[in-house]
Chains A and B, each alone.
Chain A
Amino acid sequence: MTLSIMKQGRWTPFLYLLPALVIMFIFIIYPMANTFVLSFMDKTGTQSAAVDCMPGEPCWGVLENYRYALTSSDMLTALRNNASWLLLMVPGTVLAGLFFAVLADRVRYEALAKSIIFMPMAISFIGAGIIWRFVFALESGGGQQIGILNAIIVGLGGQPVAWLSTPAINNYALMVVGVWLWSGFCMTILSAAIKAVPTEILEAARVDGANEWDVFIQIMLPMIMPTIVVVTTTMVINVLKIFDIVYVMTGGNFGTEVIANRMFNLIVTDTGRSMAIAIILVLLTVPIMIFNMVRFRQQEAMR
Chain B
Amino acid sequence: MSVTPANHKFATRTIDVAEFFKIVLLSLFTLLWLVPVFAAFITSFRTMDDITLRGFWSWPEALSVTNFIKAWGAARVGKYLLNSFIITLPSLAGMIFLSSLAAYALARFRFKGNMLVYFTFVAGTMLPFQILMLPVFRLTNTLGLYDTYGALILIHTAFQLGFCTFVLRNFMRTIPQDIMDAARVDGCGEFRIYWQIVLPLTVPSLAALATLEFTWVFNDYLWAIILLRSDALRPVTAGLATLRGQYNTDWPVITAGALLATIPTLFVFVFLQRYFIQGLTLGSGK
| A residues lining the B interface (CB < 8 Å) | 1, 3-8, 10, 12-17, 19-21, 23-24, 26-28, 30-32, 34-35, 38, 100, 103-104, 107-109, 112-113, 115-127, 130-135, 139, 143-148, 151, 155, 180, 185, 188-189, 192, 227, 230-231, 234, 237, 240-241, 243-244, 248, 260, 263-264, 267, 271, 274-275, 278-279, 281-282, 285, 288-289, 292-293, 295-296, 299-300, 303
Q: How far is the CB of A181 from chain B (nearest CB, A)?
A: 10
List residues of chain A with CB within 8 A of the CB of B29: 100, 103, 113, 117
B72 CB, nearest partner CB in chain A, Å: 15
CB contact list, B112-162 vs A, under 8 A: 114-115, 117, 119, 122-124, 126-136, 138-139, 154-155, 157-159, 161-162
Q: Distance in Å from the Cβ of A194 to the closest Cβ of chain B? A: 12
Q: Which of B4-12, B52-60, B62-70, B201-209 contacts A (4 or more CB under 8 A)?
A: B52-60
Interfacial chain A residues near B57, Cβ < 8 Å: 151, 155
**A292 to B259 CA separation, bound complex (whole angstroms):** 37
Contacts of A126 in B (CB 8 A): 219, 221, 237, 240-241, 258, 261
Task: Report B208 CB to chain A, min CB distance, Å.
Answer: 12
Name the A residues within 8 Å of B33 (CB-CB).
Answer: 116-117, 119-120, 180
Q: Pick the most buried of A13, A35, A271, A278: most chain B CB atoms within 10 A of its CB.
A: A13
**Chain B contacts to A: CB under 8 angstroms:** 19, 22-23, 25-27, 29-30, 33-37, 39-40, 43, 51-58, 98-99, 101-102, 104-106, 108-111, 114-115, 117, 119, 122-124, 126-136, 138-139, 154-155, 157-159, 161-162, 165, 173, 177, 181, 184, 190, 194, 215, 218-219, 221-222, 236-237, 240-241, 244, 251, 254-255, 258-259, 261-262, 265-266, 268-270, 273, 277, 280-281, 284-286
Pick 19 A–B contacts, CB within 8 A, sort by A.
A3-B110, A6-B108, A13-B105, A16-B109, A17-B102, A19-B98, A26-B139, A30-B135, A122-B215, A126-B258, A127-B261, A130-B254, A144-B55, A227-B284, A267-B133, A279-B131, A292-B126, A293-B123, A300-B115
| Residues of B close to A35: CB separation below 8 A | 131-132, 134-135
Q: A17-B101, A126-B237 are in contact. List 20 more A-B contacts (CB 8 A).
A: A3-B109, A3-B110, A13-B106, A23-B98, A24-B162, A27-B155, A27-B159, A28-B127, A107-B23, A123-B266, A124-B218, A127-B262, A131-B255, A134-B36, A135-B35, A145-B55, A148-B56, A192-B286, A237-B126, A267-B133
Bound form: Cα–Cα A185–B23 in Å:
21
- Whether the pair B285, A16 counts as a contact (CB closer than 8 A) is no
CB pair A23 B154 closer than 8 Å: yes
Task: Decide if B262 touches A122 in the complex (CB within 8 Å).
Answer: yes
Residues on A with beta carbons closer than 8 Å to the beta carbon of B58: 144
Contacts of B115 in A (CB 8 A): 300
Report whether B26 and A104 are in contact in the complex, using a CB–CB cutoff of 8 Å: yes
Please, which residue of chain A has its CB at the minimum distance from the CB of B151?
A: A27
Which of B40, B55, B139, B261 sits near A134, CB closer than 8 Å?
A: B40
